[in-house]
Amino acid sequence: MRVTGKNSGRFSALRLLKEALIGHRGWKPGWRNPVPKKKYDVIIVGGGGHGLATAHYLASKFNITSVAVIEKGWIGGGNVGRNTTIIRSNYLLDGNEPFYEFSLKLWEGLEKDVNYNAMVSQRGILNLIHSDAQRDAYRRRGNAMMLNGADAELLNTEQVRAECPFLNFDNNRFPIKGGLAQRRGGTVRHDAVAWGYARSADSHGVDIIQNCEVTGFRIRNGKCSGVETSKGFIGAKKIGVAVAGNSGRLMGMAGMRLPIESHVLQAFVSEGLKPIIPGVITFGAGHFYVSQSDKGGLVFGGDIDGYNSYAQRGNLPVVEDVCEGGMALMPMIGRARLLRMWGGIMDMSMDGSPIIDRTGIEGLYFNGGWCYGGFKATPGSGWVFAHLLATDEPHRTATELRFDRFQRGYMIDEKGSGAQPNLH
């Protein structure tokens, strides 16, 4: 991956020294604050990770620079800045695994591509195994991953104990019988991803328009010619919607009812502790996962709240459930003080897998259904959506991520729980 030319000269030791001498008054904002033009080639609705990544790849890989990203709040204020920062490609099904592995490869070159320190940290992810049947399932998953070019490693109890001695190995109810490791998984500083993509897109001429809400689509004779916004009408040849938890609401304005429900997911951070958790660990007997941030906080989460909502805050039963999971897995967590918690709105699709597709309306394209796993997909989603917008053809890794799979009956039901978003 090349270093993005327009950004490469802006930061250097010499520049830092010069700015130190003049009171740091010479730095420019990372991106402009432009007045919207009347018309663009492409409008992306939603300045989250996926929208900004799409704009970056449209401009830098597909040479389409007449692009606006329209964000109702501030960039990074949605789920891209609310998630637990885990990246991985440990999926089982063919419709998913090639896409997520493509995305993980893009993470590996992201910082050079956008010339931004996003703290991509491939510390590994470990899914714990608690029964013989689960070991069989994880062995199958690991094999599927390797067949798709990803890395996977099955560990026994002693190997897990050597890496994570603090786990509860004496718990007769949830014995730890091993784990499935993906060493290339890990964490990435989430808001830096939004900032890195935004700065790079801006440097290629993309207009990032914040505090501008899309309130409707102008559709005549089955063709969409632009969006109504709080700053007036903005025209475009193509409009791509990437609004995550607000997908149902937005596409409803275009007269579409999606196979998606919105649910709340919560995240938690403890006070800063000395380094203890080597990578990401997921509990296989309940829904609990944990990693440790560079500042020392334990970052953890669990299930969605389980009812439909557009509120970006969660409820107490899930707090209790997540903390119980943590205590069962690593009782020492009970000594750490919880510092903060928050919620984000998940666009839960009926089979738990995303949709990146054209719609029945000419010029209107959709990207959503990311459920609680769309952060890891950010680079892949951006690239694949840019490919679709630029060429009108699905990218080779996204041929299954289409609307018509629900009509054809070819669901990508990774969890095997059916059309029950509250159970995914």
Residues engaged in binding ligand FAD (CB under 6 A) = 45-51, 70-73, 77-80, 82-86, 213-214, 242-246, 250, 265-267, 301, 344, 370, 372-376
Minimal distance, residue 320 CB to ligand FAD, in Å: 17
Nearer to ligand FAD, 363 or 374 (CB): 374
- The residue number with the shortest CB distance to ligand FAD is 48
Contact 357, 259 (CB under 8 A): no
Minimal distance, residue 298 CB to ligand FAD, in Å: 14
Taking the CA atoms of residue 98, residue 101, residue 103 and residue 108 in that order, the dihedral angle to the nearest 10 degrees is: -150
Nearer to ligand FAD, 214 or 336 (CB): 214
Minimal distance, residue 361 CB to ligand FAD, in Å: 17
Minimal distance, residue 343 CB to ligand FAD, in Å: 6
* Chain-centre distance for alpha carbon 165: 30
Nearer to ligand FAD, 179 or 344 (CB): 344
Minimal distance, residue 15 CB to ligand FAD, in Å: 31
Minimal distance, residue 43 CB to ligand FAD, in Å: 10
Nearer to ligand FAD, 266 or 353 (CB): 266
Nearer to ligand FAD, 60 or 246 (CB): 246
Nearer to ligand FAD, 160 or 239 (CB): 239
Minimal distance, residue 24 CB to ligand FAD, in Å: 29
Nearer to ligand FAD, 135 or 370 (CB): 370
Q: What is the crossing angle of helices 190-203 and 49-60, to 10°?
A: 30
Sign of the CA dihedral 302, 48, 242, 345? positive
At a CB cut-off of 8 Å and minimum separation 6, what does 241 contact? Answer: 45, 46, 247, 250, 251, 364, 365, 366, 367, 368
